[in-house]
Each structure stands twice: as structure tokens, then as C-alpha cells.
């Protein structure tokens, strides 16, 4: 099924959070330039396979105000293939309201990655990133993702080919190394920058480390010390609190912060991090706002994927808008059984009306992506 033209997507339900509120001279939150691309603030949404479609990105921008959003990673294909590939069009769908937007190439062949970069630039990418961070088994077996870090010279050739193929900035997303025995983040970062990378995103774990394990900010600091000062080094990995971001800056020297999984479950995360880091107060959404945003997200998903598939895709996002409320688990579980938009409208009306009346049972829980039913379509891939 073809997705809708982006110009037909519903307009924002309310005013956008103004990301320009980031004070220019603040230590932790400030504008950031990646080549000629200027970010209003230095908090970035990470690319996540299965999650960061245009609907999710619009929500992150509208209510969070992050400085940069990113699409899901795009496997390297020829430009002619991209023109006719429906999946490519879905992955790269973007709208002016989310700009600037980064798009990520997943591959290892310089020529093919360059052709893909050209296709991404043609699709509207403001930045194009090379994936050297994905740790899944399939990526490692194919020599892509974090496995590419074992070949710094090849990383340099891929980056150079991409940078020569497009006029927008090319960046790299990497880890500290393929595994604990091969921590070559400095060598890879320097190879990338020497060949044209204009920013380095560093996940502060190696490819064998699991989410939830401690990050190693000394590796981020080593990269920051090794590359020229005008090249931003952006930290990634468990940056879900203001305290974690302060550590990334104070211990790792990070110029910016990329957040992935923590943004899945809390649409207001970026807004609250910016507020806390600049001395403001945390924002608590009203019940009406939670409902309005849930309905908007559902509308966006159905516009993109059609109603039948959209209902299934929306399952993994549902709890975001009820997290911390009584009965959130039961609400999520009921959502997994709805067949269409009409059932969605009934479920939402029943839950929020009952909640207003104090008639919802169940604990007030904060669910995570790991605490979900098996029929949720996907868990975000780390790219």
C-alpha cells in the first residue's frame, strides 16, 4: 500500500515547543552547527529501526522540541532502485515541520553507499549518517554496522565516497569498538573526519555491550580530544536524565546528546530535559493533552500506513501517552485487540472518560519497551 503524500499529513494539534529557547551560552544546552546545518539545540533523536518514522518524529519535534530528528536506517541500494522502492519512500518520508532531518546509510560498499547518499539527499536529507553502530547479529555477519569499525580504512573510503557524492554534511554513528578487546573509537573517528565526516555520534558502549549496562564516557572524551574542535562529538547511550547529560558533557566533553530508547515512552522527554538543564520546571501533561496527542499520533500513523496496518503499527506506541496513569497496562493490552479506527475511538473514549471520573482500576505504572506484549511489532534497533 502506498503511503500518503507528506503534504497531506494532519497539521499540528497545537503550537510547537520552541527549540530556540536554548540559551546560546549555556554549558549543557545550546545551538549546534554541523557543517552549514544549524540545530536550534543540541538534543537529537536517534535513528531507531521500526520506530522513527515521520509520525514519531513529528511528535518528538512538536512536543519535545529536539534540535535534530533522524529517520530509520536505510540499507544501501542504487539510486535507480530507490526511485522504485516503496520501502525506501516510507523510510525517507519527511515534512518541513520536522526539519532538519538526518537520514542514515547502512552498508559497507563505498560506491553503493555513495549512490544511496545521493538518493537520500534527493529525498530531502539535511544530514546523511553512516551506520557504524548497529550491534545486531545480522549486521555483524554482513560486515556492516559496528562490524565496520574493524576496518577503519574502509570506513574512511565509505565516508569519502558519500561526502563526494552529496552537498549536505556527512556524519558517522559509531560505538567505542566492535567489542571490549577492540576499542578503536579514536582511529575510526579520525579516519571518518579525515575523509569528510562533519560530526561524530558516539554510543558510549562497545558492540558487545547490552542496553542497561554502564556507559563509558572516557571513550567519548578520547574521541573529543582526538578530532578537531569544530567537529561536533555527540554522545549517545542512556541519556535519559538531566544528570546523565551533565555527565556526558562534564566527563565526556560531548557537544551534543543523542537519545533513542528513552524517547520511546515519553514524548515530553526532550522538553523536560531542556527545561531541567536550563533551570526550568518539569512539564506534566494534562489528561486532555495526553488524549489529544495519542489521537494525533494514531491519525498520523493511519495516514502513513493505512488503517489496517496502522492499527497494528500503533500498538508499540500506545502506552507512551498513558504512562504513569492508573490502568495503563490494561489499556495497552486492550489496544492490542482493536481491529480498526472505530474501535480505537471507543477505547480512548472509555478510558479517558472513566479516568476523569476516577473509575479506572489498576496500578499507576511506568511501562518500558521491554515490558510489552509479544504482538507488538518491533523493538527499536540501535543504529
Catalytic residue among 134, 144, 190, 264: 134
Q: Tell me if residue 132 is catalytic.
A: no
Cα separation, 112 vs 174, in Å, equals 20
Cα 229 from chain centre: 25
Kindly report the backbone phi and psi dihedral angles of residue 258, in degrees, each rounded to the nearest multiple of 5, phi listed first.
Answer: -110, 130
Q: Residue 128: exposed, middle, or buried by beta-carbon count in 10 A (0-12, 13-18, 19+)?
A: buried
Cα separation, 48 vs 70, in Å, equals 8
Cα separation, 372 vs 376, in Å, equals 7
Give Rg (Cα) of the chain.
20
Q: How is 267-325 classified by DSSP, letter by letter?
A: TTHHHHHHHHHTT-------HHHHHHHHHHHHHHHHHHH-HHHHHHHHTTTGGGGTTTS
Cell numbers at 108, concatenated: 559497507
> To 5 degrees, how large is the angle CA 127–CA 133–CA 134?
110
Cα separation, 266 vs 289, in Å, equals 13
> To 5 degrees, how large is the angle CA 15–CA 21–CA 23?
175
Cα separation, 38 vs 368, in Å, equals 33
Q: What is the dihedral of CA 146, 42, 166, 228, to 10 degrees?
A: -80
**Residue (of 147, 174, 148) closest to 236 by Cα position:** 174
Kindly report the backbone phi and psi dihedral angles of residue 192, in degrees, each rounded to the nearest multiple of 5, phi listed first.
Answer: -65, -45
Cα 109 from chain centre: 24
Annotated catalytic residues are 134
Amino acid at each position: 500500500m502506498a503511503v500518503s503524500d507528506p503534504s497531506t499529513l494532519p497539521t499540528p494539534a497545537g503550537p510547537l515547543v520552541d527549540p530556540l529557547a536554548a540559551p546560546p551560552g549555556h554549558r549543557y544546552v545550546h545551538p549546534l552547527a554541523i557543517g552549514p546545518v544549524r540545530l536550534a539545540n543540541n538534543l537529537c533523536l536517534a535513528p531507531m529501526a521500526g520506530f522513527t518514522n515521520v509520525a514519531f518524529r513529528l511528535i518528538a519535534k512538536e512536543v519535545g522540541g529536539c534540535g535534530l530528528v533522524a529517520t530509520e536506517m536505510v540499507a544501501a541500494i542504487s539510486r535507480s532502485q530507490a526511485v522504485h522502492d516503496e520501502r525506501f519512500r516510507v523510510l525517507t518520508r519527511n515534512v518541513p515541520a520536522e526539519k532538519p532531518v538526518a537520514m542514515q546509510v547502512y552498508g559497507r560498499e563505498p560506491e553503493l553507499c555513495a549512490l544511496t547518499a545521493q538518493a537520500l539527499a534527493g529525498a530531502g536529507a539535511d544530514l546523511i549518517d553512516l551506520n557504524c553502530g548497529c550491534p545486531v547479529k545480522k549486521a555483524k555477519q554482513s560486515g556492516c554496522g559496528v562490524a565496520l569499525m574493524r576496518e577503519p580504512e574502509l570506513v574512511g573510503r565509505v565516508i569519502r565516497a558519500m561526502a563526494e557524492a552529496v552537498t549536505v554534511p556527512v556524519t558517522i554513528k559509531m560505538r567505542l569498538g566492535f567489542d571490549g578487546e577492540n576499542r578503536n573509537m579514536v582511529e575510526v573517528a579520525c579516519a571518518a573526519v579525515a575523509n569528510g565526516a562533519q560530526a561524530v555520534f558516539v554510543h558510549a558502549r562497545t558492540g558487545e555491550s547490552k542496553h542497561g549496562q554502564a556507559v563509558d564516557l572516557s571513550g567519548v572524551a578520547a574521541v573529543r580530544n582526538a578530532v578537531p574542535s569544530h567537529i561536533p562529538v555527540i554522545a549517545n547511550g542512556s541519556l535519559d536524565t538531566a544528570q546523565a547529560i551533565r555527565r556526558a558533557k562534564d566527563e565526556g566533553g560531548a557537544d551534543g546528546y543523542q537519545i533513542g530508547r528513552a524517547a520511546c515512552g515519553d514524548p515530553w522527554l526532550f522538553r523536560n530535559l531542556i527545561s531541567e538543564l536550563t533551570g526550568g520546571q518539569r512539564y506534566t501533561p494534562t489528561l486532555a493533552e495526553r488524549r489529544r496527542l495519542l489521537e494525533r499520533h494514531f491519525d498520523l500513523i493511519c495516514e502513513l500506513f493505512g488503517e489496517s496496518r496502522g492499527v497494528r503499527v500503533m500498538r508499540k506506541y500506545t502506552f507512551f501517552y498513558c504512562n504513569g496513569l492508573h490502568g495503563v497496562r490494561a489499556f495497552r493490552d486492550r489496544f492490542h485487540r482493536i481491529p480498526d479506527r472505530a474501535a480505537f475511538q471507543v477505547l480512548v473514549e472509555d478510558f479517558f472518560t472513566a479516568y476523569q471520573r476516577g473509575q479506572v482500576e489498576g496500578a499507576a505504572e511506568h511501562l518500558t519497551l521491554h515490558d510489552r506484549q509479544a504482538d507488538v511489532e518491533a523493538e527499536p534497533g540501535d543504529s
